Amino acid sequence: MRYFSQATGIRGPSGFGSRSTAEQVTDSIDASGRTVIITGGSSGIGVETARVMALRGAHVIIGARNLEAADSVKQGILQNTPSAKIDIIELELSSQNSVRAFADKFLAMNLPLNILINNAGVMNCPYNLSEDGIELQFATNHIGHFLLANLLLDKMKSTAEETGIEGRIVILSSAAHLVTYREGIRFDKINDKNTYNSHSAYGQSKLANILHAKELAKHLKEEGANVTVNAVNPGLIKTNLMRHSVFYFTMLRVLLFVLWKNIPQGAATSCYVALHPSLKGVSGEYFADCNIETPTAKGRNEELAKKLWELSETLIK
């Protein structure tokens, strides 16, 4: 039924489906007065997410490693939405120093923070270590975002308390979390070059995104914070994220052509989870096509989530 609804665009309980666009799922929502950070807002679905958030009135902060590309995105948005408020801060998620510098620069702006969309990522790249000595996909897709959320969480909590507006964290995962290593997360072999597989390592990082959302949601609920966190699967979208596996994804596109989305459709679930009023209080869930979905058993494993949290805290110290 899941693949049938994806292929046909049949709408789920939310009233939206795989063919819904970011503009459609946020239609008539007023986000003015809210500040949203979007990592990777200079390419792929991050561009569309930034555009639609600005269109709805939010003050958009784009975190990007390519400042020239980010400025081009900003100018393009301003051409169509002259009233848009957009700022750019340099961010390289594989570098913990860069993540800390980004957080410092944002906090120095003395802005509220209502929404954090952890959108950026790398996919299926050859084996490499980050400057912090962590396998690159795990470092970029999970650890960088884990650290960023930690650094900005107090600001999100205080903003929610002062304004009464629920804070929301959106973490982009993927259906690729199904294709991970046998253990799910290889806690003792994160950097093992000899057994490295680029597809499994990517799946591991995307599983980590789901587990991060689950565990962080648990912590926030225990604190009574007015902040939710959910993981989302944007679907199959052709972006430059796939540059390391052109042949693989070309074949996948031929075989599963009915399941692929365009970029406005790919950004829909992120925008829906970030803004839609029907999701007030919903936290720790996994969304696909703007509806709650069930991840794999490993993605629901609370012990795995707790162990990953502990490892992540160790890696960011």
Q: Measured on CA atoms in the order 28, 228, 265, 55, is the torsion positive or negative? A: positive
Query: Which residues lie closer than 8 Å to 7 by C-beta, 6 or more apart?
Result: 18, 258, 259
* Catalytic pick among 3, 127, 181, 196: 196
Does 272 qualify as catalytic in the annotation?
no
Q: Is 30 helix (H, G, I), strand (E, B) or coil?
A: coil
Rounded Cα gap, residues 267 and 36, in angstroms = 15
Residue 239, class by beta-carbon neighbours within 10 Å (0-12 exposed, 13-18 middle, 19+ buried)?
A: middle
Cβ contact 50:77 at 8 Å: yes
The structure tokens 């900005």 sit at: 152
**Catalytic residue set:** 196
